[in-house]
Amino acid sequence: MPQGQIDEPAGGPADGRTDRRPAGELEASVLAALWAADGPLTPGAVQLELGGGLARTTVTTILTRLHAKGAVTRERVGRGYTYAPAQDSPGLTARRMHAELDKDEDRGTVLARFVSDLSPEDERVLRTLLQSTGQGTADETP
């Protein structure tokens, strides 16, 4: 076994936890439930959509965090809130990409490295999108 690696039992982590999921996975599951819904959901309704495996308080915490990040909107209903996605999945991904880009002062270098790592198909899609918005021409090279 490589140095520094922990030998875990075949059944899961050494501390016995097998049902713990990363926060990002939980947020993605909650967003998926909201996107699939016909309208805003309460934390209890989200919990049911997820199969009831999470405590309602856990779902409420995830929804509160998503609201703080701007990923969901909420409206007071009685003593609680209902939640709805702020954007569809592609819109949220684009928002995250913008947020990452905004973290670096050298946007040009970040964009250049991003574009240099695109697959040929993604590069074609990007060129088409830029051309359709009047921001690029077919004879430009990255």
CATH for 23-85? 1.10.10.10
Q: What is the mean pLDDT of each run of 10 residues along the chain (142 residues)?
A: 40 48 83 95 96 91 95 95 94 87 90 91 92 67 48
The pLDDT of residue 142 is 47
Tokens of 115: 């574009």
- H helix count then E strand count, the chain: 6, 2
The helix-helix angle for 107-116 and 89-102 (nearest 10°) equals 130
The pLDDT of residue 136 is 58
β-bridge partners, 41: 83
Residue 8, CA atoms < 13 Å, CB-side half-sphere: 11
The pLDDT of residue 20 is 62
Tokens of 76: 């007071």
The pLDDT of residue 18 is 46
